[in-house]
Structure 1
C-alpha cells in the first residue's frame, strides 16, 4: 500500500534540480506556460486566496505566495514540527501531509494528515487561524488537535483531508486512499471535528483491485456547483518521479453522499469517472503524473485547478501546476492546460 508522501528520492531530486526548474517556463497552458519562481518542490498542493494574495500549501507544510498565480515565492514554514499529540499517535511520523484550507466561522481551518509510508495507522489534525498573513496583528495558528484517526483494522486511511460545506450548510470531511477508497465524515460546524464519534463513514469512490495488487485511489476534493457536487480524485501511482502514473478523474452527484458518476454514467464506486488531468504520451509530454488536485473559485468568478506533476526536464522534480477550468454546456469541468 502506498500514499503520496514526498519520498526521500523525490525530495533529493527536487532539491538538486530546484534551480534549473526556475530557468524557464513550463511548456503548455496559459498559466503553466509562464509560471515561475519557487514552484519546486511542490507536492499535494491546495490553493486559496486572501486579501489579494494567493497561497499554496503542500506536503511538509510548505507555504508559497503569489500576487498573480504566475510568480511564486517560498515562505517560511508555518510550523516547526509535528504537534506532540500527532507524533505520539503515529509513531515514526515526521511531517504533515496533504493540507486542506477553508475559511469559515471567521477562521482559516487547516486540515492535514499524519502517517508513515505504507501504513493506514494515520491521523488527521486541525490548526486554525484568523488570517494567513503573518504580518497581521491577529495572525496565529492554534492547534485544535485530532479530528479522526484510522488503525490497521479499519478499511480506510485517514489521509488527504478535504473540507466542504453542502447546500444545507452541513460540514463534511472527505479523505482516504487504498483500504476501501474515498470516505466521507460529517463534521460539527462549531468545532470542525467529527459530528458523530465512532460512526462509519460514507463510501464515495473506490477502485477494484486486480489480481496480484492494489488499485490506487486518493486525494479527494469536492466542489459544489450548479446543483451538483463534483468529486475529484487521483488514480494510480504518484511519488515515482517521471515514472509516476498518477492521473485525475472527476464525477458528479446531486447528493454530497453520492453516487458520483462520470460523464458517461460510469460509477466512481467502480473505479471509473471522467478523466480531467492526464500526462501526454511519454515521448512527448514533459510533465508526468498530474494529480492531487485542489480547486479555487476566485473572487473574479474564474475557476482553477491546482496540482503537482513530475518534470522530465528537471529530473522528475514535483512541480506546481495551475490550470484554468472551463465548464462545458453539460456542466463538466475542462482543464485548460
Structure 2
C-alpha cells in the first residue's frame, strides 16, 4: 500500500511539473514593449520586433535569446492618417506579402472608436525604408467594432484582416487586390468576443503541423503604466484560443463552444495566463520561426514583483501544437 501511495504521489508531482507553464525564454526581460509583433529577415539574419507607442519602435537581434537592440522607428515621421493619434501608433502586425515586409498598425486614443488601421511596406524592415500607404479601414463612434489591433493572414481565399477591441468583438474583412484595398464591408465576419467582453488582439494563425486555423485573442484587463491598482484575480489579461477549419472561422474552444458566444464559463481555451513572476500576459502574435523550425509566441507582460503601474516587457516562448491545441513549452 505504501509503495502504491508513493508511486501515486510521484506520478502527481511529475504531471504537475510537466503541466507547469515555462517562463519566457531568457534574453528579453529588459525590453519594454506593448503588443509586440515579430518577423525574421534571412538576408540580414536578424529578428525584428515591433511595438506599440510612438512611431512604432523596432528592436533587432540575431537570436531569439537576444540581446535586443532598439534601432529606431518604422514611421519616424508619424502616420499619414489624419488623426490626433497619428504620432502614437498602436498594435503593429508584421508579415511578408508579395515580396515586401508589410506592417499593419492602428491609430486611435484610449477608449475611442474614432480609429483607423493603416499599412506600410518595406524591402528590409529597417528604419528609413518604410512606405506608408495610409488607411485601410476605419471606425467611428456608434459602430459595433473598433478599428484597432490589426492582424493579417494570407490564406487560401486571399488576404484577411482581423481587427477589433471590446465593443461587439473581433471581426475580419477581406483585402483585394492590394494590401490596402478593402474588399468586403465592415464589420465583416464576427470571429470572437461580444458586447461587454474585454476581448481584443485577435490573431489568426495556421501552424504547418496542423489542419486547423487557430483564432487567438487577449481577454481581460491589461495593466497600463501609471495604474494604481490591479484587477481582481482572474480578471487580468490572458491569451485564449479557439480553432476552426478555415481562417474565417467559426472558431471553437476545447468544450466545443463558438468563441463569439456569451457563456459561463467564458469561451476560449487558455493558452497563457499569469504564472510565477509573469503577470497579465497578452497582446500576442504568433510566428513560424524559420531558424528553429518552431512556432513562437511573443507577448507583453508585467513583472509581478514590480511596483503596480510599472512597464510591460517582451515575453517569448515556443508553442507546441502536437495535441491539436497550442501549449506553451520550453
Q: TM-score band (shorter)?
A: 0.7 to 0.9
Shift of 1:167: 2.6
Shift of 1:81: 3.7
Report the CA distance shift for 1:140/1:64 in structure 2 as closer, same or farther (over 3 A): same
1:34 maps to which of 20, 26, 29: 26
Kindly indicate whether residue 143 of structure 2 is the aligned counterpart of residue 154 of structure 1. yes
2:205 alignment partner, SS class: strand
The whole-number CA distance in structure 1 between the counterparts of 2:110 and 2:149 is: 13
**Structure 1 residue aligned with 2:241:** 250
2:101 maps to which of 71, 96, 108: 108
Shift of 1:108: 0.9
The whole-number CA distance in structure 1 between the counterparts of 2:175 and 2:223 is: 31
Shift of 1:199: 4.8
The whole-number CA distance in structure 2 between the counterparts of 1:81 and 1:183 is: 30
Q: Is the 8 A contact 2:50 2:59 kept in 1?
A: yes
1:10-159 equivalent positions in 2, closer than 5 A: 29=22, 32-36=24-28, 38-39=30-31, 41-51=32-42, 52-60=45-53, 61-71=56-66, 72-84=68-80, 86=81, 88=82, 90-91=83-84, 94-133=87-126, 140-159=129-148
Report the CA distance shift for 1:216/1:200 in structure 2 as closer, same or farther (over 3 A): closer
Kindly indicate whether residue 224 of structure 2 is the aligned counterpart of residue 236 of structure 1. no
1:216 maps to which of 191, 195, 198: 198
Shift of 1:301: 1.8
The whole-number CA distance in structure 1 between the counterparts of 2:194 and 2:186 is: 23
Report the CA distance shift for 1:236/1:133 in structure 2 as closer, same or farther (over 3 A): same
The whole-number CA distance in structure 2 between the counterparts of 1:149 and 1:208 is: 19
1:48-87 superposed Cα distances (whole Å, 9 cap, x missing partner): 1112211110102111111111111111122224234x2x
**Structure 1 residue aligned with 2:5:** none
2:73 alignment partner, SS class: coil
What is the TM-score normalised by the length of structure 2?
Answer: 0.82
Report the CA distance shift for 1:249/1:76 in structure 2 as closer, same or farther (over 3 A): same
The whole-number CA distance in structure 1 between the counterparts of 2:28 and 2:301 is: 15
**Structure 2 residue aligned with 1:188:** 176
1:313 alignment partner, SS class: coil
Shift of 1:191: 3.8
The whole-number CA distance in structure 2 between the counterparts of 1:334 and 1:176 is: 25
**Structure 2 residue aligned with 1:174:** 162
What is the TM-score normalised by the length of structure 1?
Answer: 0.80
Moved more, 311-320 or 290-299: 311-320
1:75-109 superposed Cα distances (whole Å, 9 cap, x missing partner): 1122224234x2x3x33554110000110111111
Q: CA RMSD in A?
A: 2.0
**Structure 2 residue aligned with 1:336:** 329
Kindly indicate whether residue 320 of structure 2 is the aligned counterpart of residue 326 of structure 1. yes
Q: Is the 8 A contact 2:33 2:51 kept in 1?
A: yes
